[in-house]
Each structure stands twice: as C-alpha cells, then as structure tokens.
Structure 1
Amino acid sequence: MAAKKAAEGAKQEDGKYKHTVDLPKTSFGLRANSVMREPELQKLWEENQVLKRVSERNTGATFTLHDGPPYANGDLHMGHALNKVLKDIINRYKLLQNHKVSFIPGWDCHGLPIELKVLKSMDKATLNALTPIKLRQKAAKFAKVTVNAQMNSFKRIGIWADWDSPYLTLSPEYEAAQLEVFGQMVMRGYIYRGRKPVHWSPSSRTALAEAELEYSENHVSKSIYAAFKVTSPSSSGLLDEFLPNVCLAIWTTTPWTIPANAAVAVNPELSYAVVELQSVLESESTSGGKQQKLGSILSSGIEKPFIIVASDLVSVLESKWGVKLVIRKSFPGSVLEHCRYLHPVNGNECSVVIGGDYITTESGTGLVHTAPGHGQEDYLTGLKYGLPIVSPVDDEGNFTAEAGQFSGLSVLGAGNAAVVKYLDEHVSLILEEPYKHKYPYDWRSKEPTIFRATEQWFASVDGFRDAALDAIKRVTWVPSQGENRIVNMISGRSDWCISRQRTWGVPIPVFYHVDTQEPLITEETIEHIKAIVSDKGSDAWWYMKTEELLPDKYRDKASEYRKGTDTMDVWFDSGSSWAAVSAKRDGLNFPADVYLEGSDQHRGWFQSSLLTSIATTGKAPYSSVITHGFVLDKDGLKMSKSVGNVVDPEKVILGGKDSKKEPPYGADVLRLWVSSVDYTGDVLIGSEILRQMSDMYRKLRGTMRFLLANLHDWNPENSVPYSDLPKIDQYALFQLENVVASMKDSYDNYQFYKIYQTLQRFAIVGLSNFYFDVAKDRLYVGGRVSYTRKSCQTVLAAHLLYLVRAIAPIMPHLAEDIWQNLPFEHTLEDGSVAKFAFDLKWPDKNEEWCSVEKDDVDFLSVILEIFCICLLTS
C-alpha cells in the first residue's frame, strides 16, 4: 500500500513527494523488437569475434560436438532448426563451463537429390549436350548456392559456429580424406566387388543403401499362389506314390521374379503335407477368382491333383483357396531336399533346397520360391547350393532378352501382369489377390524399388561387425534405447553396398582391364589418385586421361585399362566426416564428445560413421550420441506442403505476409520452444504453441527488466554481506542457488525441457509473484541509501548475474540484450570488465547461500505456498 500511495503522490502536479520515491529506470524495453534487435546483437558478436575470443580465453578441456551434415538441396525446415538449436544450446553451455569450443558446421553436397534437381532444371537440348563434367560443375554450383542460403538461415537463428571454415563433402581436402578411409578399408580387405542382389531404384537407375529407403505402409502387391510340378522325388521315396500328379505350392508378392526362379526352399524343422484337392467348396460363391483358378487345376486332366504345403497352413489355405484339402501324408521338410520340379516358365528342372528360419508359417505356403538374383535370403541359400544368380532385369527395371517373351516389359508394371497371365494360361496359377504390406521406396523419387543382382562394390561388415558391437557398448546413448536400436541394425545388416551408378559424387578409384574386366585397385593407385584429388578435386577423375590417373609403374599399360564410372554412396561420404574434420583439424577431439542428429540416423550417419571408423581406427568416432525425434504439426501429423500444415522457421522468426496470423516472434522464441519440448520423442509445433512460447518469453523478459530497472543506481561495492541480510533475502538466495543447481544438472544431462519448466516456475511464481512483490516497498520508498534497499538490491544483482548465464545457452539474444543494458560494470576474475554475456562463466556453487536454517526454509516455503494459493484463487 505504501508503494501505491507513493506512486500516486508522485503523479501530483507539484511533485511534492517525487524525490521520496525510487522508481525503476532502464533502457531495456519490455518489447524485444526481435526483428531489428537480434541482427544487431549478432553483428556485435561477429564484429568482436566473441565465440573465438571466449573459447581461446577458456582454460578448460576442449569440447567437440561434431556436426552431422544436412543435405544441401533446399531451404531449412523445422527439423533443421530443432537440430541446430539443440547443438547450439550444448555448445554455449560448454563455453560457460570454461571449455574450449570449436563448432565446425558441415554440408553433404554429393548424391542423387542434387543431381536430379540439376537435371530437372535443364531443357531437352541442354540435356542432350550434357557431359559428366558439365553436370558435376552445375551440381557443385547448385550445392554451394544452397549451402550459403542455409548458412545465412542458421546464422539468423543465432547458431554460433566457425562459419568461415565449414566442411563441405565436395571440397578437395574432404574428398581426399574420404579416399584415404576407402583406401585403408581396401588394404584391410574390407572392400570387395561382387554380384549380389541389392536394393535397386528403377526410377533413379542406381543401387541404394538401406538408409536411402523409406517404407510405404500402403503398398499393394499382386500376390499369387502357384503350383510347380514335381518331376522326381527325393531318395527317401516318400513321394513316389503321388507321382506324376504332385506339385509344390509357393506364394510370392513379386510374380515378376518367377522367370529368375532357381529353386524352391523349405524349412527342415517344419512339418509338410501332401494334400489332395478334392473339390471347390460350395460355400465359396465369389464369381471367377478362386473357383476359376482352382477349377482349372482340378480339370487339367490330372486324375488326383496333389499339392505340397506346410501342415500348419492346410486349414488356412483350404479357406483361402476355396477347396477341400485332404491330408494324405505328412513329413519333415528335410525329406523334400533334392526333389526336382519343372520350372513354370523355361521348362528346366530345378531342385528343392533347404532354406533357413526365414521360412515360417505366418503367411504363404511354407515353401519359398527362390530367385538368388532378387532377394537377400534367396542369395544366401543360392550360395549354399551353388544356384545360378539370374537377374534378367535392366537398369530401368525392364525385363532383358534373357527373360524371353517378357523382354522389354516393366517388372513393376506390365511385366508383372504378363508373368501372372502366363502362369494362369499354363495351369500353374492357384490364386491371385492384392496384398497390402510394407514395401521399400526410393526416398528421393518416392517410387518403388526392387531387389536386383548387379556388379557392385561392397564393404564387408562381417569383417568388423563384432568390433563395432563392442564399441557401441562404450558409447553413451541419449536416450538409452538408442543403443538397442543401433545394435539390432548392426547385428542384422548385410554387407554395405557402397557403389552408385551416378555422376555426382566421389569416384570409386578403380580401373578395369578392358579384356578381362578384372579391377586394378592397389595402395599405389589409391594414393596416387588421392594426391590428385587433394590438389584438383574429384572432377579430375572425369577430365583427366587414364594414363594421367595411373601411377608411373602402370603408365606403359594404360591402354589396357579403363577407369570406372561408379561413385561412392553418399553415406560413405558423410560417414567419413570424422576423418576429414574431427581427426584432421586442430583444436578438435577425436573421438568427438557428442554426435547429435535425428533418430533416423541410427540407420544413416551414426551407423556409416561407426562402420568406417571401426574399420580403419578400431574405435567409435563418438563418445556420446544424442538423438531427437521428428517435428510434427500441432495435431501430431507429419508436415506437408500439400496439406498446408508446414511451420516455416523463417516465418516464425521474421513473420509472414499477414503479421496477425504469422507474427514475427524472433529467434529466441523459436529457441525457447526447442528447450520446452522433450526432444527424445517426436515434438509438436503450431501457432498456439508459439503464442504460448511468446507469452513465456515476455514474462521472462519482464522479470529481467524488473531486475535491471531496480539496479539503475546499484554499485557492487554497496553489497550487503550475506550474514547481514534479512531472512527473506537469505531465503531468496537459497532458492536461487537451488534453482541454478537444478538447471545445471539438467544442462549436464541434456534435459533442456526441465530447464524450461524450472525457469518458468521460478520466474513467475518464485520471483514475480512473490519476492518482487514483497520487495517493492523496500525498493521504491525505503530510501536510496537505506539498508533495506541495499540488501534487496544485493539479492536482485545476484539473481541478474546468475539468471543471465542460466538462460544464455537457450536465449542468447535476450541474455546479450540484458548485458548490453547492464547499469553497472561486472569485473571478471582477471580484473577485466565483462563486455558480453558470454564473457561470464557458469556461477560456482555458493555454499553460504545453502546454509539457511531448515526451520527458516520450511517457514518461508509455507508462506510462499500460501501466497501462491491465494494468488491462484483470487
């Protein structure tokens, strides 16, 4: 009441009591004006090289957060913002902890997405005149323009990094480091060339790695059940009585692979049965379909048609096929080994073989049509039995002449339908039906992929799998379930296909003999090419002649060789970044202290980095790995331009065309949102969420303004000793110490949402609604030189100096704005004056502040609780 009366008195015309009231004074505005102010502060940091200066002055250990390279092919999205802000929060906190921090930003610049964008931008005439080197030059130009655009966007968010020396996977020094990793893996025997099935994208005309796939849950395949006629039984004689009327029943979702069939595989541990097809069930009344297919087999002239299926599936198949199936004999799968059957398309005799535990009774018939050229399990089974690896499909996904009458047809379209029609016409088709299931798509073109056997270069993961699994145990994973995820991926992955049939990338440095096609790849050839690339860049592989690319000892035989045209998988590019950056540049740690990326990188960058590092150094490239989820809209849906639910980080910061609908919030509000979410799972963002963040930001700004304004006449020399402070002031410092300690613990454990919660509760309840409210009388009318005002200002100054550091990693612009409006000088330990917020260190624990008597703490806590209840119910 006294403060209120004093304020009213100060408004009187004669100003009779004005000199008796000390009202708050500060140039620090309640409105942030972030669109103008934040760039000013960023310019201040840049001109004074604050990051470099603070890092060099710090005396603690080096801290290295190795940046995972975003792809240089488009504007930033909210996922980029989440990722880089999380990294920046960690780096800024480490600076406050006295660490030397050097953050090198990076970009992934090679690969098909960029190549496709460049190709799509050209007209037909330009495409016809396009050479590999011209395409590479255009791709490099596109990537560099994108890098600059993304870099400026990151700077506007307030990310601190060595922007003058980023790493680009297209730079000669990076490419040379990548070739060094490749060369070491070659010399250790981990790189080989082989013909085996890989994920192939007909739409992109290249092999793909697992990390380049996305799986559609709504893909519908044309699945079929087909009958392959047995021509000779196994040596056991168990099937003799059923000849020549017995068939093997198979099920497949890829009928187009039937021409490449080389065997039928069974599980030796499963029970199989010979069943007799007696009649079409009367209850099955659908037109055509099941009745027609089974009817054709029943009326095919076979007196008693018998079919072999897994015993456990008899009742299921009876219902699905709409026929009566009577079991005539049962036996283990091992009995069927070496039975012979007639290939349904080419008429060759093929064998029944023993497969693995991938053959189950969860679906199908228990017998698996095996085409070693079109499936990983099929390929391994084929190796076991020496089966031919047939793959009559070209780069565009069309049947080759080897497929006979299907030649030229698309295996994912007309070719697939043609095979089904052929089986039907030749009385092999039992049933055709649509089958909805998860299917791999090319993540770039969004088109289905196929398994196709081609000559490719592989990294033999088997050679260092155990070492990788052992290294994973010594890495800290945040959240902890990340460890299980990558263990499962490494344990079950096949060899890594590292070659791509594209132009824009780092070449696989290999030469082929023009007659024998034998590859020439030695330590000498790799070292020679690495030296050329280091000097001229990888473009040299395309414009230099073979004799120039070969070392001296091979020059006289240059005419016998041609250079390869394959490039490396982009995951090998980015997976070599530890070698090009962390292990190469001064002032960085290897292994890096932290890798931080989205959870999808367990199958991408985290994994490729681990594999290349283990293969060449024997250790993981990181000590800790932090993963975050995806950014979804307010309803938890994936953002899509077509749906119109995209939240653009640039519009969040600068505002949209309609400032009422899309107001400019500034970078710190966006950063505050990042700190508020539990990033270990998927996170939500939308207009209402951003408004809440803006409200919270204003409350925090108001809290800090109160501190600044009531310290306008403060001199640190007037500080009241702790022992002389009133109990309520001691209690306030006790609360401050505990809050800052809690925030430190949350920073250390990367739990930033807990910092947000703590800060919100403390600023609004502990300070604004309690301590500030009860302090106003002392501050405004207690007298400028009074003990009560000085004791209160002592506490306010402590809060200001502590909180400005506590919020600085999350809201650096706010922290710096506060510091630039500081009404008194703050001297550092070395006697210099702190000019910038990050000149400060994280505050040391003050044991004296923690010494408040328990009874005083309990009493004041009860008073605070009662005050808050009254506030909430008023």
Structure 2
Amino acid sequence: MSDETRKDYRDTVFLPKTDFPMKAGLADAEPKWLARWQGLDFYKRLRAERKAREKFVLHDGPPYANGDMHIGHALNHVLKDMVVRTQTLLGKDAPYVPGWDCHGLPIEWKVEEEYRKKGKNKDEVDPKAFRAECRAYAQNWVDRQREQLKRLGINGDWDNPYLTMDFQAEATIVSELLKVAESGQLYRGAKPVMWSPVEKTALAEAEVEYEDIVSTQVDVAFEITESPITELVGAYAVIWTTTPWTVPVNQALAYGPDIEYEILPWNGKKLLISKELIPGVLERLMAVSGQIGDVTLTAYGHGQGKQWTGKGSDLAGTIARHPMANLFESPLPLRGGVGGGASPADSADGATPHPNPSPEGEGREPAIDRQSMLAEFFLRPRPFLPGDFVTTESGTGLVHMAPDHGEDDFLLCKAHGIDPVFAVEGDGKYRADWAWLGGQGSVINPKFNGPEGPICSDLKTAGGLLAASADYSHSYPHSWRSKAKVIFRCTPQWFVPMDKPIEAQGKTLRETAMAEIERVRWVPERGANRIGAMVSGRPDWVLSRQRAWGVPITLFVHRQTGEYLVDADVNARIVAAVRAEGVDAWTGTDPQVFLGDAYKADDYERMGDILDVWFDSGCTHAFVLESGRWPDLRWPADLYLEGSDQHRGWFQSSLLQSCVTRGRAPYDAVVTHGFTLDASGRKMSKSLGNTIDPNKVIGESGADVLRLWALNVDWREDHRIGPEIMRGMTDAYRKIRNTFRYLLGALDGFDEAERIAAADMPELERWVLHRLAQLGDELRGCVNDFDFTRYVTVLQAFCVHDLSAFYFDVRKDSLYCDAVDSPKRRACRTVMDTLFHALTRWFAPVLVFTAEEAWQARFPSEDGSVHLLDWPEIDAAWLDAALGQKWETIRAARESVTEAIEPFRREKTIRSSNEAVVRLPEVAGISAADFAEVSIVSAAEYGGDATVVTRTEAEKCARCWRHTGDVDPATELCVRCTGVTA
C-alpha cells in the first residue's frame, strides 16, 4: 500500500508541543529579560535569599573608565560572572560588586587631548577645575560601560558599584598610605625610574610595554689619563651604547672584574676593549669608517697587533676623561647651554629636587659662575669602577655610567660617592643651563640621537666618536598609553622598600610577599612562577607621580630635616577632610588646619605629587571588602580574576599593599586568562582593522552567543575570535537551544503522577541517570577547578552526543507512540523531567537569558527564576559503572550498524533505518529485539562475523512508521499502535 493511500493517524501521535521558539531572536529578547530582572530587583533579592549561607567573594578588579567595553572586557566579565553564578548554584552566597579605576594618567591624558585640540594648555587651567573635568570624564565612561556590561548579562550590584574616585575610596587610599608611612615603610629618595617624557611622569612597570625599534649605536672613546698600568695611559677606553643621549650625563666607566681586556691598535690610537668582543668592535669600526685601520680583522684573528692584555680587576684605579673635555678646554663652539636657565627646582615635571642634591644638580650658589661650574662637570675625572653586571654579550665589555639614567649605574656610582646631576628635564630636554646641549632634546627623538644629530656631531668634533650607525634593532620600553618611548630618569620620588624589615612582622616586604605567593592558589599554576619571578627581582615600589588627577601623597616634610611628619591626630584630620571633600581637600585646605596647634606650617612642605594609580587599585580590597559599605562582602577575597598581564599590575600591587599593611595577601586564589587575538592569531589593533566589537556581536547575535564563545575557548591561554569562529558558536548555541526545545515539547503536560522510580526504569533510562550523575560530578570538579572551558564542553557534548544523537533518537518512538501510561514512556518522561531540571540549572551560568527563557516556558512565574535555584539533586545511587560500560559497548555496536546502513541510504535502496534488517555478531547484554529498537531498524539478528544489511519485507505501520512484521492489513497498524488507539 502506498503512503498516499494510507490512513492518517497523526492526531493519535503524542508529538512534542511547546511555545518555546526554535528561532531565538536573542538580540530582541534579551533586553526584555534584563528589564524583568531589574523590575524584580533581582540582585538584592538573591542577596536576601542567600543570607547566612556560606560566602564566596570574588573581588572585581577595576577596569579603567575611559572607553567602551572591548572584547577583553567582555571575556573577563563573563568569566567573573561564571564564577559568581556557579558558586551561587552550589548554594553559596556569592555577591558581586563591580568597580572602576578612575584616577591616573589614562583619564588625565584624554582630558588633555581635548585641551590640545582646542589649542589650550592644561597648565593654564585651575587644577581643581581640571580635576573636575577628569572626574566628569570618568563618570561618563563608568555609566556607559555599566550599561554595556549589564547588557552582557552580568549580575551584580550595578546601582552601587565602587569607584576609586568616590570620596570614601579616596579617603581610604589616603589612610592606607598613611599606614605605610606610620610603619616606617616609606622613604623619599632619588632613583632612576621609568619616565615618560611625553606624559611627563614616572611610570610603573605595569604601564610599560616593549616594542621592537631601531636605534643608533655608537662606540665612543674615553682617553685614559691615569692608570697603575703604564701601557694604558694615553689609550682610549671604548664604550658602546644605544642611548647616545646618556653620554652627556656620563660620570664613570664600569668594567667586569673577570673579563679579559686587550689593547687594539686603530688608526694611531690604542683602544681598550674586551678580548672576546674585539671582532665585533672591528666590524663596526670598519663598516662605519670604510677604513681598514692598523689591523684587519683577519690579521687580528691570527694574533697580530695585540699589545697589553689583562683582567678587568687590573683596571682598578684607572681614570679617564670625558671626550667632551676636549671642547671645554678649547674655544670651539658648543650647542646650547650658554645661559643661566632654570635649575632642577623649576623643572617642567614639578618634582621636588633631590633632598641632598649635588652642586651640579641644585645650583643654588648665586656667586658661582654657573656656566663655568657646569663646564667643569665635563673636565672632572671619570673613574673605572668594578661592575658585576658588565658582560661580554654585546658592546665592548666596558660600560659608561650615567647614574641619572640606569639602575645599575645609579647603585654603582652611589657606592663610590657619585651623585646624579638631574640634567634631563621631565619633558626629555636637557636643562637650559646644562653646559652641553642645554635646552635641547627631546632625548627620545631618533634624529637627535642619530649619526647626524647634535650628540654624535659634537662627539665627532671632540674626537671621541669612533662609530655611529642607525641600524641596531632591539626591544625597547614604551608607555602603553601614549605609545612613546620611555627613559630611565633619576628624580626625587617616594618609595616603599622591598628589603627593609617591617617591624610588626619581622620580615621584609619581599619576604612576606614571596611567602604569600607560595600560599595562594594560582590557576593556572604557572602564575605563581610568573609573579614570583617579578616580585623576587623587583626594585623598590615607586609610589609618586607628577600629575594632577589622582590621590595626593598627603605628607608634610620638615624643611630642615627632610623627615616626613608622623602624627595620628594630623593624619586623622587629613583623612576626614578627604572623606568630606575628596582629593581637592589636600591642596584646598590651609595646611595649618591639618597641622593643628602642635606644628607650624612654615616649618613643613606640603607634598604636591600624587600616588601611583596602582597603589589606588591595590587598596580596593580595603575600601570595598572592609569598609562596611557592602556588608555582603568580607576580607580577604576568595578570588581575584584578571588577565595574565596583572601579575605585574593589580595582582602585584594588591599583594604588596596588603602585605605591607596587613602581613598577607588580600586573596586566597587567583585565576588568570590570556588575551583575545583575531582569527589569524594576531594582536587586535584598530590600525589593522581586525578588532571585534562585543557590543556589535551582542546587537546581532545576542549576549548568550558571545558568552558561549567566552566560555568555550581555551581562555587560560591566548585565544581567538573572528566571524567564522562566531558562526561556529551560533551553530553550537542552536544545538543547545534545540535540546531545551525538545525537552519542553516532550514534557508537555507532565505531572508528578507520571513519575516512576529509577529502580523501575528500563536500562536505557537508568543509563541516562548514570550519565547524569557522572556529569554532575565532573561539572562540580570543573567549578572547583575554575575549568569553565571543560564545563561548557562536557555539557555541550552531553546534549549533542548522549541526548540528541542517541537517547532522544532512540526514545522518540516510545515518546510519540506508546500509550500514555506505558511504563517505558513514563520512565522516559521522568528522565526528561530530571534532565530539564539539571540542564537548565547547569546552563544558567553560561546562557543566562536562554536558561531563564526555557525555565519560564515550563514554569511561568511573575517572580520566579532559574537563577534562584541550587545545584540539581543528583542521587549518588544512579552511578553504575558496570551499566555505563555495558551501554558504551551497545552504543559502539549501534554506530557500526548505522555506518553499515549508510551506503544503502545514499543509493536510496533504503530510505530510513526503519527499513533495514541487520545481521551482526552478538552484542553482549542486550537481546536482538531490544538492539533493533536501540538501532532503530526493522529487525536485528545475531550471528556471523560481520554486519550484513538487507531491506525488510515487512509492512510499515501507518501510525508509528515502523516495519515490525505485525501490521494488521485492515487497520494498517502494528499491534502496539492498535492497542494505543483502541
């Protein structure tokens, strides 16, 4: 009988029925769910319902309030939301208070840009008015980012976030600084620090990024005037540098005590160079000069031309002279530096001079001719000093020392009584009164340093330049904000010492921090090694910045002793004023008000620097977790979660700040993620046009699809995103959504009267419960390990492979065609109900909108929510390893049967597996009839060594479409369907 003439039994089939749409329409639907949650005041309601439960606190690291949400923000906040929601799902009270970093250079720089566009100078604006503009700028971006993050489905206390520019926060930051000061772990000194000439401020390591550049490399000769080794007098010590601008500030030469040195004849001069590096030096000299000199490289390699040879330690007591001394002893014209000019005290960066400056650095003696005094700088002897840092990796084996511009230089010179001279101003120019190149620069300008620039030209005139070429490729630090090169610059700054014992703890800050790094849980584990390496070798923490927008360093320094004032009453007045008026209170209040009757304002200098913004963010644990403003929080945090760059940023500043004031880290665990790259693995850049705007993705595909991507990628490493990747995520989302839709349709009308005990279920249902119990254990492990990629992966695999491709496929016949009260159908619907309750909960932290939509589709409620529920109840008795292994074997056999049928389907010999009869080797533990049902074939027979497929001769049931061999020609129904429709 043909299909066209068969009777229509469709009305008797129990097909799935649901209003849950196949097409999600997330971009339009999600805002409606957000509005619903807002109407329920959902965050507060969740806090009320979780009150008194075990607490889990993730402390939000503050992003900068200076731009739209980018893909890195989106990934980071989805991960945080996943932590909070999964901990909530486990039954804990997991509050989330978002925050923003509002002070510092990024915001100040943007406000300055607006001034520059209008042709204005920031320095002409009243500082209070300027800070008000910075505050308004930050608030604007806080408001914009807040709405964007809310749209991403992040659940948090959005009505009450923390801002570092809140007066309460600013007062706490001041209080934390004063705690450091009171403990004696604060000092003022001049050290070389990373300095941005463009931004005119010191930078923290976290504010610096390294880029490859090409610099001018120079070989400069310093004539040796005195030495215990007579052969060296009149010879020239050769130094090599890629920062020619530091030569005008040279004060000594360093040698390696164990390095072997030799004299090399070159064009009538004797050059002192490391024996190991002579070939490289010769190559540079010959390449630049075009001359062969007294000795060719080949001849030198055969031992010709060698004169004095000795170890670096033999050079002790040797003295050289600066090459520019030749010009200062002659009437040759100099470039700049001929006028009085400003002293360092008037420098553009506004920094206070070194408390114990050298005569050259301060220049306060009006009776002395400044030009003569500064010219004398270039005439004084340059001693040879032993330096353990000198190597033979490159250069000449001799290093010129400029204590103003290098940490090794500074420490070595300081140990030998040589002080910095503060010749380079905050804008990168030499002081106007500097004898050589005064008022010129900027020192980061390639042309200024180039072979034809003034430095090389003057050195050449003085006879000190041996070689110069603008061809040296290397990595160099840049400000990550302005993208301009930075320099090491010695300026007076405030520091927290890393190696001074903290009296209350008996250990140094470095020791305490290293012990805490070992205690804290790091995910992934390599994070401990990364931050440990940074902390173990880091210099003292530079706290001061020379800018306007930030928390001031609220210290009074005695004008005579240089000591800062430590007085609890004074400090209390300062903190109270900042709490009432914000940072403007520091400069806007008469200092005598702070000092009270105990001190005279004329005796003290009020500091004008601001705090490193990393100190601000490092204090967030204090004013967020401890202040009481957010009573649901507590100190310390269970978890910090940020990008891996924060090992040198927020993780470290929080660690150091908390260790110096509290003796421990403010967190017990730290999770880090990598960076998002484009589909080709390149760093995202607006100039490359390869950025992905998360707001656009949300507007087109929905936030749930973006969330699924964020939790699907291997986010612990650098990972990728692109149009093709997002299309894959859309397909993955669709499969999950179809799982919900199928369950909702299959469960239409389900009630408790249908429920059947697990012990009374068929094996297939018990296997599903076994898999569900396995999945529950695995997902709990994922939550505890913060392994969200695996969490999502195993959930997706369960839906696609275990359910859609297997269980749903096998049981759709029973679900659609068995009698309503048949045990098998009741067992199937009971399991599906269990699946629905589990999957909606487990997916709720991932697909926050879709899970809510599915839950409400089945359990509509004005105030109910899937996000108020706990982890699904899983009976441990469901686990059955033997049953699980048995059904894995059955599934493997089923797959082999499907593969065997496929060629017949392609040839259209068999249109459906229901038309197939299979003969195959026996499958242990299941009858042939039951295996036929599992494989969805007409019949199965055991026997033989291979699977054989033939087409059935049995008629098809007009209701269930199965070829069972028991169809009644009169009714066209099989025995089962006859009974159901009777």
Q: Is the 1:728–1:860 contact (alpha carbons within 8 Å) kept by the matching residues of 2?
A: no
1:483-504 alpha-carbon deviations (Å, 9 max, x no partner): 1111111111111111111110
Q: Distance in 1 between matches of 2:232 and 2:196?
A: 44
**1:220 and 2:251 correspond:** no
**1:437 and 2:474 correspond:** yes
Aligned counterpart for 1:838 among listed residues 857, 861, 867: 867
Structure 2 counterpart of 1:340, one-letter code: I
In structure 2, the residue corresponding to 1:622 is in which secondary structure? coil
Deviation at 1:29, TM superposition (A): 0.9
Moved more, 748-757 or 682-691: 748-757
In structure 1, the residue corresponding to 2:307 is in which secondary structure? strand
**1:451 and 2:488 correspond:** yes
Change (3 A) 1:824 1:542: closer
Aligned counterpart for 1:370 among listed residues 376, 395, 401: 401
**1:312 and 2:296 correspond:** no
Moved more, 424-433 or 783-792: 783-792
From the CA coordinates, give the structure whose radius of gyration is larger. 2
Counterpart in the other structure of 2:649: 604
Q: Is the 2:40–2:863 contact (alpha carbons within 8 Å) kept by the matching residues of 1?
A: no
Q: Is the 2:252–2:385 contact (alpha carbons within 8 Å) kept by the matching residues of 1?
A: no
Counterpart in the other structure of 1:110: 103
Counterpart in the other structure of 1:775: 811
In structure 2, the residue corresponding to 1:694 is in which secondary structure? helix
Q: Is the 1:340–1:349 contact (alpha carbons within 8 Å) kept by the matching residues of 2?
A: no
Q: Is the 1:55–1:99 contact (alpha carbons within 8 Å) kept by the matching residues of 2?
A: no
Change (3 A) 1:725 1:852: farther
In structure 2, the residue corresponding to 1:63 is in which secondary structure? coil
Q: Distance in 2 between matches of 1:446 and 1:759?
A: 43
In structure 1, the residue corresponding to 2:654 is in which secondary structure? helix
Change (3 A) 1:522 1:262: farther
**1:241 and 2:231 correspond:** yes
* More contact order relative to length (CA 8 Å, sep ≥ 6): 1
Counterpart in the other structure of 2:136: 141
Aligned counterpart for 1:263 among listed residues 245, 252, 274: 252
Counterpart in the other structure of 2:21: 29
Counterpart in the other structure of 1:866: 896
Counterpart in the other structure of 1:288: none
How many residues align? The count is 817
Structure-to-structure mapping, 1:292-303, within 5 angstroms = 298=267
1:182-227 alpha-carbon deviations (Å, 9 max, x no partner): 111111221111112111111011111111111111x122110011
Q: Distance in 1 between matches of 2:5 and 2:220?
A: 98
Deviation at 1:861, TM superposition (A): 3.6
Deviation at 1:514, TM superposition (A): 6.2
Q: Distance in 2 between matches of 1:840 and 1:388?
A: 67
Aligned counterpart for 2:790 among listed residues 746, 754, 775: 754
Structure-to-structure mapping, 1:85-124, within 5 angstroms = 85-122=78-115, 123-124=118-119
**1:412 and 2:444 correspond:** yes
Aligned counterpart for 1:851 among listed residues 870, 880, 897: 880
Q: Distance in 1 between matches of 2:901 and 2:432?
A: 83
Deviation at 1:637, TM superposition (A): 1.1
1:696-749 alpha-carbon deviations (Å, 9 max, x no partner): 101110011000111111002321111111111111211222223222222221
Q: Is the 2:320–2:384 contact (alpha carbons within 8 Å) kept by the matching residues of 1?
A: no
Counterpart in the other structure of 2:62: 69
In structure 1, the residue corresponding to 2:214 is in which secondary structure? strand
Q: Given the two structures, how large is their TM-score scaled by the length of structure 2?
A: 0.80
Moved more, 754-763 or 574-583: 754-763
Q: Is the 2:841–2:869 contact (alpha carbons within 8 Å) kept by the matching residues of 1?
A: yes
Change (3 A) 1:227 1:26: same
Structure 1: where are the runs of 5+ without partners? 278-297, 299-303, 655-663, 826-832
1:819-840 alpha-carbon deviations (Å, 9 max, x no partner): 1011599xxxxxxx99211222
Counterpart in the other structure of 2:925: none
Q: Is the 1:765–1:868 contact (alpha carbons within 8 Å) kept by the matching residues of 2?
A: no
Q: Distance in 2 between matches of 1:81 and 1:491?
A: 32
Counterpart in the other structure of 2:751: 715
In structure 1, the residue corresponding to 2:64 is in which secondary structure? coil
Q: Distance in 2 between matches of 1:679 and 1:480?
A: 15
Moved more, 543-552 or 629-638: 543-552
Q: Distance in 1 between matches of 2:153 and 2:732?
A: 19
Q: Distance in 2 between matches of 1:783 and 1:339?
A: 105
Structure 1 counterpart of 2:27, one-letter code: V
Q: Is the 1:215–1:440 contact (alpha carbons within 8 Å) kept by the matching residues of 2?
A: yes
Q: Distance in 2 between matches of 1:255 and 1:126?
A: 31
Q: Is the 2:322–2:382 contact (alpha carbons within 8 Å) kept by the matching residues of 1?
A: no
Moved more, 304-313 or 334-343: 304-313
Change (3 A) 1:872 1:634: farther
Deviation at 1:350, TM superposition (A): 2.6
Change (3 A) 1:524 1:865: farther
1:413-449 alpha-carbon deviations (Å, 9 max, x no partner): 3653212111111111111122111111111111111
Q: Given the two structures, how large is their TM-score scaled by the length of structure 1?
A: 0.90
1:513-534 alpha-carbon deviations (Å, 9 max, x no partner): 5677765454443332111111
1:156-189 alpha-carbon deviations (Å, 9 max, x no partner): 0000111122110001111111112111111122
Q: Is the 2:754–2:821 contact (alpha carbons within 8 Å) kept by the matching residues of 1?
A: no
In structure 2, the residue corresponding to 1:183 is in which secondary structure? helix
Structure 1 counterpart of 2:262, one-letter code: A
Counterpart in the other structure of 2:328: none
Change (3 A) 1:867 1:641: farther
Aligned counterpart for 1:53 among listed residues 23, 45, 50: 45
Structure 2: where are the runs of 5+ without partners? 287-292, 326-377, 501-508, 906-982
Deviation at 1:129, TM superposition (A): 5.1
Q: Distance in 1 between matches of 2:889 and 2:752?
A: 30
Structure 1 counterpart of 2:313, one-letter code: S
Counterpart in the other structure of 1:82: 75
Deviation at 1:564, TM superposition (A): 2.1
**1:194 and 2:158 correspond:** no
Q: Distance in 1 between matches of 2:890 and 2:62?
A: 51
In structure 2, the residue corresponding to 1:461 is in which secondary structure? coil
Deviation at 1:113, TM superposition (A): 1.4
Structure 2 counterpart of 1:757, one-letter code: T
Q: Distance in 2 between matches of 1:797 and 1:131?
A: 68
In structure 2, the residue corresponding to 1:462 is in which secondary structure? coil
Q: Is the 2:231–2:308 contact (alpha carbons within 8 Å) kept by the matching residues of 1?
A: no
- CA RMSD, Structure 1 to Structure 2 (Å): 2.3
Aligned counterpart for 1:387 among listed residues 407, 410, 418: 418
Counterpart in the other structure of 2:518: 473
Q: Distance in 2 between matches of 1:459 and 1:264?
A: 30
Q: Is the 2:53–2:91 contact (alpha carbons within 8 Å) kept by the matching residues of 1?
A: yes
Moved more, 534-543 or 719-728: 534-543
Aligned counterpart for 1:354 among listed residues 367, 385, 398: 385
Structure-to-structure mapping, 1:646-665, within 5 angstroms = 646-654=691-699, 664-665=700-701
Deviation at 1:544, TM superposition (A): 2.1
Change (3 A) 1:576 1:869: farther
**1:339 and 2:292 correspond:** no
Counterpart in the other structure of 1:566: 609
1:794-826 alpha-carbon deviations (Å, 9 max, x no partner): 11111111111111111111111111011599x
Q: Is the 1:200–1:449 contact (alpha carbons within 8 Å) kept by the matching residues of 2?
A: yes
Q: Is the 1:264–1:353 contact (alpha carbons within 8 Å) kept by the matching residues of 2?
A: yes
In structure 2, the residue corresponding to 1:635 is in which secondary structure? coil
Q: Distance in 1 between matches of 2:879 and 2:265?
A: 86
Aligned counterpart for 1:763 among listed residues 795, 799, 820: 799
Change (3 A) 1:512 1:867: farther
Counterpart in the other structure of 1:493: 538
Moved more, 773-782 or 91-100: 773-782
Deviation at 1:869, TM superposition (A): 4.9
Q: Distance in 2 between matches of 1:460 and 1:9?
A: 93
Moved more, 699-708 or 110-119: 110-119
In structure 2, the residue corresponding to 1:354 is in which secondary structure? strand
In structure 1, the residue corresponding to 2:474 is in which secondary structure? strand
Q: Is the 1:56–1:100 contact (alpha carbons within 8 Å) kept by the matching residues of 2?
A: no
